Amino acid sequence: MKISALRLFNVKRFAGRGVAIEGIGDGVNVLCAANEFGKSTSFEALHALFFQPYSGKSGPVRNLRPYSGGNPLVEADIAHGEERFRITKQYYGGGFARVTDLASGRLVAQADEAENFISALIKGGPAGPAGLLWVRQGVTGIEKRSNAEEDGEKQVRASLLESVQGEVEAMTGGRRMAEIMQTVAGELDKLVTKRGPKAGGRYAAAIEVRDRLAAEEAQISADVGLLREALDKRATALKRLAELDGADERQQRQDAVASAQVAFEAAQAQGERLKTAEAEFKLARERRDGAGRALEAFRTALQKDADLAARRREAERRRGEAVGRRGEAAEASARAQAAADLADAQELETRELLARLDAALRAREAAERLAESRQRLSEAEAKRAALEEAEAQLALVGIQPGAIEELQALEIELSGLRAVAEAARPSVAVAYSVEAGGEIVMDGVPLADGQERSYDGQAQLVVMGIGVISLRSNKTPSGDRRLEQAEERRRALLDAMGVETLAAARARQVRAQQIDAEMRELRGSLSSLAPAGLARLREEVAAQALAGAELSEPEGDAAQLRAALSAAERQRLDARQALREAEPDRRRAEDAIVAAETALATLRTEQAHVEAQLGPEEQRAARERALCEDFADRSREAENADARAAELRAAAIDLVSAEAALKRARSVQSSVEQQIVALREAVAGLNAGIRARSDEAVEESWRETAEALSAAELRVAAFDKEIAVLQRLAVSLDRARSEARELYLKPVMAELSPLLGLLFDDASVTFDERTLLPQTISRNGQEEEVERLSGGMREQLSVLTRLAFARLLARGGRPAPVILDDALVYSDDDRIERMFDALHRQSRDQQIIVFSCRQRAFQKLGGNTLAMVDWRP
Amino acid sequence: MFRFIHSSDLHLGKRFGSFSGDLPGRLREARHGVIGRLAQHARDHGADTILLAGDTFDTETPAPDIRRQALAAMRDHAPIRWVILPGNHDSLQATQLWSTLKAEAPANVVLASEPAAIHLSAGAVLLPAPCTTRRPGRDMSAWMDGAATPEGALRIGLAHGAIRDFSEEGASSDVIAPDRAARAGLDYLALGDWHGPLAVDPRTRYSGAPEPDRFKHQRPGEALLVSIAGRSALPEVTSLATASFDWQMRELHLLDSDDPLQALDALLPESRQRRQTLLRLVVTGRSRLPSRTAMLEAVALAAPDFAFIELDDAGLAMDCEAGDLDLIDRAGALREAAEALLAEAGDDGLSAGEREIARAALARLFSYAQAVAS
């Protein structure tokens, strides 16, 4: 389609008048005029002619009307292929639309038919699409605009582009495709949104119903389960109850209890009998044991009696012996006493004789000694003077010289005393009879006849044919008092000297010897002169002088007398010893008698006791027999009792088991009773639940719900399938359309790239698939959103895109005019010139109509200059 | 001559939850109506006994109104005697049901709840085999073999369950011996459970449900009128129509050349029957897109005539020729989309579901394209 002329009357500022732009030709046509000259009005009028129905009163139509009102009229001559038409539209009063064939002047169409003709021109009708490609002042088709406006434009553009598409593919279907897709989307939209089932939609409702039914079904199913369980439980309970509560069962339980009771009682009775038998057995056993013990005791007593008799005889014998021994001992003692008395008398006599002899001898000697003493006294007194001096010296260092001697003398005396004591020891002498067969041996040494032998402590006499005689000296000799006194003195002496022993004293004396060396000589002389001291010598002299007066003659032999005295003394001591020996024998004999008597008395008592037990001797045998028989009887009785008890024990019923059995039988009975009660309660409880659920007919509800649920599930599945089908279809359509668009955009791109090359180096454009508008531009490898580009660049791109489309249409033999209404307001001079180049480049076989107020700038565009002339229809 | 009516599987109280609207109510009411129709047949044919061989009630716990109204209806038809046998749906395990029935049953309703002989008349003894549980697991009719009956009296067995593995409940081990009648010397064995009428042998029969409840059996509901002249005489059996609803499953097999509308027209029942008809239409064979679309429209058009209509076209293969696609578009994006869907519908590499989706999408595209074109 090409536009060859545009005329308008009573449009906007042209109230009551009209203008015409004639002679629009191929290539670039430029209408360059100052502002307010009417360019935009012309443009809007042309737009309305093609896009606003004559009967419409929409915004664009109202805009056409002058302020003064009136009926806008727009007319355009177009060439469509070989034909040329005139399209005329009047709005408002007397509004019409009319298409006439310019060649013949024939009215082709009017009113709605004319509108259809026009829209066929734009959208492509039976004769194929044509179209107009518009770029308006400042409207690049890229900026955001109000939704309604945008939608309108988009619809227009879409329609245009779809015509283009159809042209490119030489196939129709774009519109049908869009409608089908819209239908599919609409159908889908009723069911689902991007987020899932559409709320309130049929699908969501079906899902909701299904879910509700599923929940209900689960609920009722649980109820049915409970009901069935309750029914089963009740059936089980009733069955169990019938079993438990049956007359037979009841009777059986009672019988069991009764028989257990009987068994228990029998066991109890048996137990009692056994206890009695055991007691009897125990008693019998005790009695048997008693009898046995009596018999045993009796026999023991008999035995003891016999023992006692023997022992008594022995004791009596011993007593006899002891009495005999006592007699002997008494006799021996008497004898010894007599011998002692005799020895005493002899000794006394001898001693007196000796004393008298001694006295006579001493008197004689005294007289002799007096003369000598007087001699010695004079010598001694001389010596003494010298000695006294020496003594004075000696006194300083020495001890009493006499002390040692005294001590020595004491020692000697002690020896003497000890010898005397020795003489007092006991002795024994034997006077053998003529017919004696041998000698008595004393301590291994034969004892001669009449020989007296002393001994210490004890001695043994072996008498052949008789035995051994033991002698004991149990008495200490009397008269030792002197010995003690001597010893006492000795001790006192030692103490006085300050020494322990005689030897010590002597040692001291030796020590003094050196000091009184000269004194010794003097003393020697003196002592020889006055052995007992000077004073003593004087006293001696005086005494001798006195004693010499009663001088008597000694009689008898002194040595003989002394020997006699010594013998007499020995005799006396021996006699004393013998007497002392005899005494213990006698005492022992008496003690033995006492012991024998005591033993005998004890035995007698015991024997009396045993005899009391045994009873009279003549009845003892009978008694023993009786005891024997008693024991035998008791043993038999005990055995019998034991046998009876054993018999009972063997036959005993286990009382514990019987009791347990009874207890069990009773507990069975009571537990069954409890079970029966519990079961009845359970059944009653179940009855209520079952009745309630049965009355609610849960099973019917369940089946109903289950069936409804499966129906709902089928419905949801059907929806699922429907959605899948629709989605599948939508995807297929979308994919097919995308592919087709790619196919279609290829030539557009082919057309566009040289144009882009005019303006930009190395630039390419991608298109939005939905709107077919430029989306991104890629320059020097960098991709930019078109929206971010500068205004100038956007408008340039917009124009170039239109040019490319137009070129595409033209190549398909369907040229469409490109109308630019001040479309390059933002572009700089350099770019404008390049755009002009592009326009001219595209203007072959192509109509481009440019409206612009930029007169100077557009002078360089060249092309067919259009002018506006007054016009009246 | 002893004469009675043999029926079974009334399934009173069945609710038909899979249907919507007032159809479930109508179907339920129709089941109750069977009582009256059976009684009418009994009166018409001079039978005084109606044997119901199990599943009289649909569940073990029917709603009180179902139970009471059924008993009331039976009582109203006195002196006709009703013998109710526990089936698997209303087995004796439903103690509540049976104890209530015992308490409520009128004089002319006999509950065959014990395997013990029931004297129907001077010369006829009924040997019932009640189901003790939902699945008894054994042949309940075995006791009939040794059941003593008076000399010369007719022995009539009454049992519920499968004789082969064709039970309504699927596989089951507790089958009734098919030759029970012969073994137990029965003159007639009235069986229930199978919803379609079936003669096992001259003396053993399933009456089928008097009012069908599913599409499975291709016969209208009926009951059997049984007349037995005497011992050793073969029973004389007559079918009696009892159903008020017709459950039909019709198969429409299409060939490429068939006109689906014509075929459909021939298949659908007469208009006056349609209200009482539940129809399942199974379309198989092959069809081209336009025929298919036309047929679907025709079915949709006819649907309101029926109580229920269900179309199963899963078995209908789609034939598609270039001309059919031309009706969508001769070329261009639409044609491309159609070609792609057609290829997918026939692509064996895809799952059956995906193929079906593609097929349906193509059919849908076809119908939309026609709508846009018109």
Band the pLDDT of B83: cuts 50, 70, 90.
very high
pLDDT of residue A167: 43
- pLDDT for A142 equals 36
What is the pLDDT confidence band of residue B50, given thresholds at 50, 70 and 90?
Answer: very high
Which residues are bridge partners to A440 per DSSP?
A447
Interface A-B, measured as beta-carbon pairs within 8 A, has a size of: 148
CA dist., res. B188 & res. B205, Å (int): 8
Give the per-residue pLDDT at A140.
38
DSSP collapsed to 3 states, A769-804: CCCCCEEEEEECCEEEEHHHCCHHHHHHHHHHHHHH
Q: Smallest Cα–Cα separation from B249: which of B325, B193, B309?
A: B309
Determine the 3-state secondary structure of A476 from DSSP.
coil
Distance (Å, rounded) from C-alpha A807 to C-alpha A822? 21
What's the pLDDT band for B52 if we cut at 50, 70, 90? very high
Nearest CB to A173; choose among B66, B100, B332? B332
For A193, phi then psi, to 5°, come to -110, 180
Asked if A183's CB is within 8 angstroms of B373's CB, the reply is: no
Which residues, at least 6 apart from A412, have a Cβ–Cβ distance to it below 8 Å? none
User: Please, what are the averages of pLDDT over each run of 10 residues along chain A (873 residues)?
Assistant: 83 82 80 74 77 75 79 84 84 83 82 77 44 46 42 44 43 62 84 81 86 89 84 83 82 88 86 88 90 88 88 87 85 83 85 81 73 74 70 63 76 79 76 80 82 78 83 65 78 77 74 66 69 71 66 68 83 82 80 86 86 82 88 89 85 80 87 87 83 76 85 87 87 79 68 72 65 68 71 71 70 70 68 75 74 71 77 78
State yes or no: pLDDT of B333 exceeds 50. Answer: yes
Comparing CB atoms, the residue among B94, B335, B368 nearest residue A183 is B368
Q: State the pLDDT confidence band at B225, using cuts at 50, 70 and 90.
A: very high
**Domains of chain B, CATH where assigned:** 2-241 (3.60.21.10), 246-373 (no CATH)
pLDDT at residue B39 tops 80: yes
Which pLDDT score is estimated for A375? 74
C-alpha torsion sign, points B218, B223, B225, B230: positive
Report d(CA A362, CA A552) in Å as an integer.
9
- Please give the residue that has the higher pLDDT: either B291 or A144: B291
Of A173, A180, A707, the CB nearest to B16: A707
Query: What residues of chain A, 229 to 248, have a C-beta less than 8 Å from chain B?
Result: 231-232, 234-235, 238
Q: Two tokens at B335? A: 């044609």
pLDDT for B344: 84
Return d(Cα A482, Cα A64) in angstroms, integer: 196
Q: Is the pLDDT of residue B208 over 80?
A: yes
| pLDDT one-digit tens code per residue, A419-460 | 777 677 777 888 888 877 777 888 888 888 877 777 777 788
| Contact residues, chain A, for B369 at CB < 8 Å | 176, 180
User: Using the beta-carbon criterion (under 8 Å), do A701 and B15 form an inter-chain contact?
Assistant: yes
Per-residue pLDDT band at B291 (split at 50, 70, 90): confident
Cα separation of A633 and A339, whole Å?
79
Separation of CA A865 from chain center? 109
What would the mean pLDDT of B43-63 be, rounded to a whole number?
89
3-class secondary-structure state, position A113: helix
**Cα(B250)–Cα(B312) distance, rounded to whole angstroms?**
10
Q: Which CATH architecture has domain A2-165+791-870?
A: 3-Layer(aba) Sandwich (3.40)
| pLDDT value at B82 more than 70 | yes
Contact A698 B14 (CB under 8 A): no
Name the residue with higher pLDDT: A155 or B21.
B21
Token pair of A703 as six digits: 């089946």
Judging contacts by C-beta atoms under 8 Å, the chain A residues touching residue B14 are: 700, 703
Instruction: Report the alpha-carbon distance of residue A314 to residue A817 in Å, rounded.
Output: 185
Min distance A129 CA to chain B CA atoms (Å): 16
* Residue B72 binned pLDDT confidence (cut-offs 50, 70, 90): very high
Q: Do A173 and B14 touch (CB under 8 A)?
A: no
Query: Can you tell me the distance from the alpha carbon of B46 to that of A545, in angstroms, rounded to the nearest whole number?
Result: 210
Domain ranges of chain A: 2-165+791-870, 249-397+554-609, 427-472
Q: Which of A183, A708, A739 sits opposite B18 (nearest CB)?
A: A708
The SS3 of residue A849 is strand
Residue-wise burial string across B67-93, b where 16 or more C-beta atoms lie within 10 A, e elsewhere: beebbebbeebeebbbbbbbbbbbbbb
Using DSSP bridges, classify how beta strands B154-160 and B188-192 pair: parallel, antiparallel or unpaired: parallel
Distance from C-alpha of B86 to C-alpha of B273, rounded to nearest angstrom: 34
Q: Tell me which chain A residues have a C-beta less than 8 angstroms from the C-beta of B370.
A: none
A397/A384 Cα distance (integer angstroms): 19
Q: CA-based Rg of chain B, rounded to a whole angstrom?
A: 26
B58 → chain A, closest CA residue: A700
Enumerate residues 183 to 222 of chain A having a beta carbon within 8 A of any beta carbon in chain B.
Answer: 183-184
Distance CA A612, CA A700 (A): 116
Measure CB to CB from residue A728 to each of B60, B361, B372 and give the nearest one: B361
Q: Which residues contact A555 (CB under 8 A, 6 or more apart)?
A: A356, A357, A360
Task: Count the Cβ atoms, other than its own, within 10 Å of residue A558.
Answer: 15
